[in-house]
Chain A
Amino acid sequence: MALRTIITKRTLAGALGFRQQHRSVQTFSLPDLPYDYGALEPAITGEIMQLHHQKHHQTYITNYNKALEQLHEAITKGDTPTVAKLQSAIKFNGGGHINHSVFWKNLAPVRDGGGEPPKGSLGSAIDIHFGSIEAVIQNMNAEGAALQGSGWVWLGMDKELKRLVIEITSNQDPLVIKGPNLVPLLGIDVWEHAYYLQYKNVKPDYLKNIWKVMNWKYASEVYEKECR
């Protein structure tokens, strides 16, 4: 009986790739954009897309990887003060990575369906919960315009309550911070770096124009997957 237990434990440990001496930390890398930098013009310029992707998103990833490495070391050493101290860098940079990864997918060039309103179950759900797509857009744009500082506006889905929500998060907080059952369908980055070179202080114009390249197809796919 004891022998069987030992063998089982060892096999399980082997299957998980658990090595007692050193556990390597997964590192993250910049996902490719599903379109060229200039493909979202004139709604968002290629200059912004390139800086946003190659500089801002990359920096979040670089700093996330660094923080994870430091966290791994601190955990291994049992250095609790450092573990606690690293939490904000992990939330900020990890959140930045999550949020931007979703963002690139929830935008699309017009020729690939950007701006086309959702049909199917998401379209119906929007009509039921909000009355119309226009109402969603108006609501999200009002939230985005009123947000002071840096943050995001989200159309999300509560997969427990099977309900659509509009939420804002500050800085790089991912939507899940607002509720553990929330899944992002569409996000709008309202950090100034997302629009400043093109729209300067006129954030409302950015918010108006980004809907021309909104990838409702992606939002519908996520929605349908979470509804199953």
Chain B
Amino acid sequence: MAATASANSLTSTFLPRQGVYGSSHQSIQLRTQKFARKAGSGTITAKFELQPPPYPMDALEPHMSSRTFEFHWGKHHRAYVDNLNKQINGTELDGKTLEDLILVTYNKGAPLPAFNNAAQAWNHQFFWESMKPNGGGEPSGELLELINRDFGSYDTFVKEFKAAAATQFGSGWAWLAYKPEEKKLAVVKTPNAENPLVLGYTPLLTIDVWEHAYYLDFQNRRPDYISIFMEKLVSWEAVSSRLKAATA
């Protein structure tokens, strides 16, 4: 169990920066790296591991089918993680945290090859954790206060978030994010693999609007998917704890 012991001590240096992660232990698990010794060679290679969503794959039925998870998590997300590991193996990118990888490979808007896989690996984990069985409803507490303050009302926020998700042309994501410099909430939409981390914001909530996220369940009806996401899937607990970490 020497490998485990060294993994634990090594992972403590890679604990996430404050403000980026929810408090659920699942998100911590993704962001720590498992280290494996190559047999015989004595080298340690760092690998990211695909974590399962924090609920069974059929737990979000009928709003998001287990069939969708079979492909979205089992194929798409897995491929991002596997391909990322292949890309960084043996390079100077090897050993960095996922967040550092994203920022380094974003390269101020001229992204390097590993950016897509790194960002998408992060985005998808963040997405699973943004949802929960019997989700939806409305936020409360400090989160609701800030939403009311920065958007005028919860309904206005929902309208803005839905519009961002519906008008992200092509593939991408819509986000509720916290802007640490202005200390304000904002709705942001990003293309392809980009996320608010590269803008210096703290993500709080996301919806994946790549077609693979909704095509099996909703086909072309992206607006219906977005509505169901808001009404039945959002985990306001996750959003609240992310906000708490961001404003602590």
Chain A residues with a Cβ under 8 A of chain B: 51, 55-56, 59, 88, 92, 148-151, 170-172, 191-193, 196-197, 200-201
Min CB distance B80 to A, Å, is: 10
| 8 Å CB interface, B72-107 against A | 75-76, 79
Q: Chain A residues near B219 (CB, 8 Å)?
A: 51, 55, 193, 197
Closest to B70 in A: A200
Q: How far is the CA of A59 from the CA of B216 in the complex (A)?
A: 19
Known: A149-B192, A192-B215. 14 other contacts (CB 8 A): A55-B219, A148-B193, A150-B170, A151-B170, A171-B169, A172-B169, A192-B210, A193-B211, A193-B220, A196-B211, A196-B212, A196-B216, A197-B219, A201-B76
Q: How far is the CA of A223 from the CA of B75 in the complex (A)?
A: 40
Instruction: Decide yes or no whether B71 CB sits under 8 A from chain A.
Output: yes
Instruction: Decide yes or no whether B227 CB sits under 8 A from chain A.
Output: no
CB–CB A171/B170 < 8 A: yes
Q: How far is the CA of A92 from the CA of B137 in the complex (A)?
A: 34
CB–CB B116/A148 < 8 A: yes
Q: How far is the CA of A192 from the CA of B220 in the complex (A)?
A: 11
Question: 6 shortest A-B CB distances, which residue pairs?
Answer: A192-B211, A150-B170, A171-B170, A149-B192, A149-B171, A55-B220
| 8 Å CB interface, B157-188 against A | 169-172
Closest to A55 in B: B220
Instruction: Decide yes or no whether B191 CB sits under 8 A from chain A.
Output: yes
How many residue pairs link A and B with beta carbons under 8 A? The number is 52
Q: A51-B220, A172-B169 are in contact. Are A200 and B75 (CB under 8 A)?
A: yes
CB–CB B170/A170 < 8 A: yes
CB–CB A201/B79 < 8 A: yes
Closest to B117 in A: A148
Q: How far is the CA of A51 from the CA of B191 in the complex (A)?
A: 24
Q: A55-B220, A197-B216, A201-B212 are in contact. Are A149 and B170 (CB under 8 A)?
A: yes
Q: Chain A residues near B172 (CB, 8 Å)?
A: 149
Closest to A52 in B: B220
Closest to A93 in B: B169
17 residue pairs of the A-B complex, CB under 8 angstroms, read A51-B219, A51-B220, A55-B220, A59-B220, A92-B169, A148-B193, A149-B170, A151-B170, A171-B170, A192-B211, A192-B215, A193-B219, A193-B220, A196-B211, A197-B216, A200-B71, A201-B76
Min CB distance A100 to B, Å, is: 13
Q: Chain A residues near B191 (CB, 8 Å)?
A: 149
Q: How far is the CA of A55 from the CA of B221 in the complex (A)?
A: 9
Q: How far is the CA of A86 from the CA of B30 in the complex (A)?
A: 41
Min CB distance A198 to B, Å, is: 11
Min CB distance A23 to B, Å, is: 28
CB–CB A56/B220 < 8 A: yes
Q: How far is the CA of A42 from the CA of B192 in the complex (A)?
A: 30
Q: How far is the CA of A196 from the CA of B215 in the complex (A)?
A: 7
Closest to A92 in B: B169
Q: How far is the CA of A31 from the CA of B180 in the complex (A)?
A: 50
CB–CB A88/B169 < 8 A: yes
Q: How far is the CA of A149 from the CA of B193 in the complex (A)?
A: 8
Q: Chain B residues near A196 (CB, 8 Å)?
A: 211-212, 215-216
Closest to B192 in A: A149
Q: Chain B residues near A56 (CB, 8 Å)?
A: 220
Q: Chain B residues near A172 (CB, 8 Å)?
A: 169-170
Q: Chain B residues near A149 (CB, 8 Å)?
A: 170-172, 191-193, 210
Min CB distance A89 to B, Å, is: 8
CB–CB B216/A191 < 8 A: no
Min CB distance B170 to A, Å, is: 4
Q: Can you list, as one digit per residue, whether each of B126-162 has a CB less than 8 Å from chain A (1) or not (0)? A: 0000000000000000000000000000000000000
Q: Chain B residues near A151 (CB, 8 Å)?
A: 170
